[in-house]
């Protein structure tokens, strides 16, 4: 792609109003990441019941095998991304997105061609490149005065996209007669042209302005020495956030990958559209909450506010589950109590989960005044989070095989709510104290190497 700085669209965006710039950036980022899900999640619409258990692999459920294989690839991608994303230069991001998407689509073709269970290897190969996409897309958005709004818009994509692409996949199977092994690669092909166009739109974005850097600290690639120094300087708070994210990611992935089974247990087996429509309410609630954070000018106050939003989310997961089990959950606007519970649980989950990928570390870097990149810590927490997801799936298959998908989900809802709430409080206290010592003049921002190690 040509240099974006010379393009008329880039020059227009550089002078556009904040509303016009934000609308363009959100639309481009939202649609790019939305399309990525067409290469990652449609296989979840299949049940693969023809070969439900494989004696060759200790009786593991075939769908669990596919999910674990993809998540392992995605997890490897996140660990690799700690280095790749934190060192990625702006000029290479767009081309990198197209390359990893192309690799993922080839892997889906192998998934259709190879026989089970060997096509699980194709799901692993599919996950390896896709884990890079979030960091590549968010790299276009971070470090700007409107990053909260941009991040909220981007994050809404994966809240909605997973349900939509699974609905598309289920419709291809039920109404198009497409084999469930061929359905994922066909779904990817449907979204490919839009994906390419939106990546081009992203590549036209101008870099953060001088005013952005003054307000949110300059963002620079981080080498190994800078990454180590950053972790050592803020280790206690980063530990709390990473530990809780392991549970949060496992919970989010379980709800997402087995949404079909959970909704079926709640009486919605014949309503594929529920996978998409329920998440629209969740996405709207999350966007409103995160968009409101951009009204907070103080980075320190903004960091505390982000923690409070996330804490409210994990609290909502536990309280809504308790209310539903106690028979206190009402039906609203024609929705059953079960549907209302799933929507509230989803809202609470994503209020806690979404800020990790867009707002939390962006505000943290600005509040503590360190020259760094949010992509580094996003990928550290993601990498360990997906390890937790793999562990949860293996435990469900081998440690609690007789527990239904719904009962397992309810139990883990309580565990996630309690543990994550405790860790959010600890992290908020730690970073509130560390942000008091942050340098106030924009010109006096130190690098991570210049900071003292964690007390």
Query: 3-state DSSP call for residue 4?
Result: helix
Task: Tell me the pLDDT tens digit for each residue of 410-448.
Answer: 999 999 999 999 999 999 999 998 888 765 544 344 445
The model scores a pTM over 0.95: no
Q: How many CB atoms lie within 10 A of CB 113?
A: 12
Q: Which of 262, 272, 278 is nearest to 334 (CA)?
A: 278
Task: Tell me the pLDDT tens digit for each residue of 287-306.
Answer: 888 878 878 888 889 899 99
Judged against a pLDDT cut of 50, whether residue 100 lies above it is answered with yes
Task: Tell me the pLDDT tens digit for each residue of 365-379.
Answer: 888 877 667 777 888
Q: Which residue has the higher pLDDT, 397 or 431?
A: 431
Q: CA geometry: angle at 245 spanning 42 and 48, to 5°?
A: 25
Mean pLDDT taken over the chain: 84
What phi and psi, each to the nearest 5 degrees, are found at residue 419? Answer: -65, -45
Spans of all domains in the chain: 21-448
Q: Which helix (H) or strand (E) holds 54?
A: strand 53-54
Task: Tell me the pLDDT tens digit for each residue of 15-39.
Answer: 888 889 989 999 999 999 999 999 9
Query: 3-state DSSP call for residue 454?
Result: coil
Q: Which residue has the higher pLDDT, 202 or 153?
A: 202
pLDDT average, residue stretch 268-286: 79
Judged against a pLDDT cut of 90, whether residue 219 lies above it is answered with no
Task: Tell me the pLDDT tens digit for each residue of 112-131.
Answer: 999 888 899 999 999 999 98
The predicted pLDDT at position 51 comes to 53
pLDDT average, residue stretch 246-265: 86
Structure token pair of residue 55: 């004696």
Q: What DSSP string describes 212-244? A: HHHHH--B----HHHHHHHHHHTHHHHHHHHHH
The predicted pLDDT at position 85 comes to 82
Q: Which helix (H) or strand (E) holds 60?
A: strand 60-61
Query: Which of 1-5, 212-216, 248-252, 416-420 is the most confident on average?
Result: 416-420
Residue 58 pLDDT level (bands cut at 50, 70, 90): low
Contacts for 177 with CB less than 8 Å, ≥ 6 apart = none
Task: Tell me the pLDDT tens digit for each residue of 59-84.
Answer: 677 888 888 899 889 888 888 888 88
Residue ranges of alpha helices (H) inside 56-182 are 62-87, 93-113, 120-130, 133-138, 147-174
The predicted pLDDT at position 216 comes to 61
Task: Tell me the pLDDT tens digit for each residue of 143-175.
Answer: 777 777 787 788 778 778 888 888 888 889 888
The predicted pLDDT at position 453 comes to 52
Judged against a pLDDT cut of 90, whether residue 397 lies above it is answered with no
Query: Of 204-208, 211-215, 421-425, which range is least confident?
Result: 211-215
Considering the chain, what percentage of its residues have pLDDT values greater than 90?
Answer: 35
| CATH entry, 21-448, from 1.10.1280.10, 1.10.4080.10, 1.20.1250.20, 3.40.109.10 | 1.20.1250.20
Q: Which residue has the higher pLDDT, 248 or 331?
A: 248
The predicted pLDDT at position 449 comes to 52
Task: Tell me the pLDDT tens digit for each residue of 33-57.
Answer: 999 999 998 887 777 765 544 554 5
How many Å separate Cα 186 from the centre of its chain? 24
The predicted pLDDT at position 445 comes to 47
- In the chain, how long is the greatest CA-to-CA distance? 64
Contacts for 73 with CB less than 8 Å, ≥ 6 apart = 123, 124, 125, 126, 127, 128, 130, 131
Residue 135 pLDDT level (bands cut at 50, 70, 90): confident
């Amino acid at each position: 792609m040509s240099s974006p700085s010379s393009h008329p669209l880039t020059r227009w965006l550089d002078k556009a109003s904040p509303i016009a710039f934000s609308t363009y950036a959100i639309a481009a980022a939202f649609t790019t990441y939305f399309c990525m899900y067409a290469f990652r999640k449609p296989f979840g619409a299949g049940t693969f019941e023809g070969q439900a258990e494989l004696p060759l692999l200790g009786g593991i459920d075939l769908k669990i095998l596919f999910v674990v294989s993809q998540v392992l690839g995605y997890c490897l991608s996140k660990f690799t991304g700690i280095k790749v994303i934190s060192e990625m230069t702006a000029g290479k991001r767009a081309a990198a997105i197209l390359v990893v998407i192309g690799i993922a689509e080839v892997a889906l073709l192998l998934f259709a061609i190879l026989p089970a269970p060997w096509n699980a290897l194709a799901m692993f190969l599919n996950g390896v490149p896709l884990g890079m996409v979030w960091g590549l897309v968010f790299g276009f958005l971070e470090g700007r005065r409107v990053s909260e709004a941009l991040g909220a818009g981007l994050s809404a994509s994966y809240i909605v996209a997973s349900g939509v692409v699974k609905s598309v996949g289920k419709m291809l199977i039920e109404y198009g007669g497409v084999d469930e092994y061929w359905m994922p690669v066909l779904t990817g092909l449907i979204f490919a042209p839009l994906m390419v166009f939106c990546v081009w739109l992203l590549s036209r974005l101008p870099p953060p302005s001088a005013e952005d850097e003054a307000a949110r600290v300059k963002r620079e690639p981080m080498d190994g020495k800078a990454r180590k120094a950053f972790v050592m300087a803020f280790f206690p708070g980063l530990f709390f956030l990473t530990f809780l994210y392991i549970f949060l990611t496992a919970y989010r992935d379980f709800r997402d990958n087995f949404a079909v089974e959970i909704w079926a247990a709640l009486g919605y087996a014949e309503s594929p559209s529920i996978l998409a429509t329920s998440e629209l309410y969740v996405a709207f609630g999350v966007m409103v909450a995160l968009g409101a954070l951009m009204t907070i000018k103080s980075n320190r106050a903004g960091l505390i506010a982000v923690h409070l939003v996330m804490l409210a989310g994990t609290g909502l997961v536990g309280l809504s589950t308790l209310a539903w089990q106690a028979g206190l959950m009402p039906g609203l606007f024609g929705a059953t109590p079960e549907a209302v519970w799933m929507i509230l649980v989803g809202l609470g989950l994503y209020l806690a989960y979404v800020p990790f990928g867009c707002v939390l570390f962006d505000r943290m870097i600005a509040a503590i005044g360190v020259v760094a990149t949010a992509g580094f810590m996003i990928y550290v927490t993601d990498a360990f989070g997906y390890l937790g997801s793999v562990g949860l799936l293996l435990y469900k298959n081998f440690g609690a095989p007789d527990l239904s998908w719904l009962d397992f989900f309810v139990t883990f809802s309580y565990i996630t709510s309690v543990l994550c709430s405790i860790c959010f409080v600890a992290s908020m206290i730690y970073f509130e104290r560390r942000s008091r010592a942050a340098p106030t003049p924009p010109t006096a921002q130190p690098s991570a190497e210049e900071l003292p190690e964690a007390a």
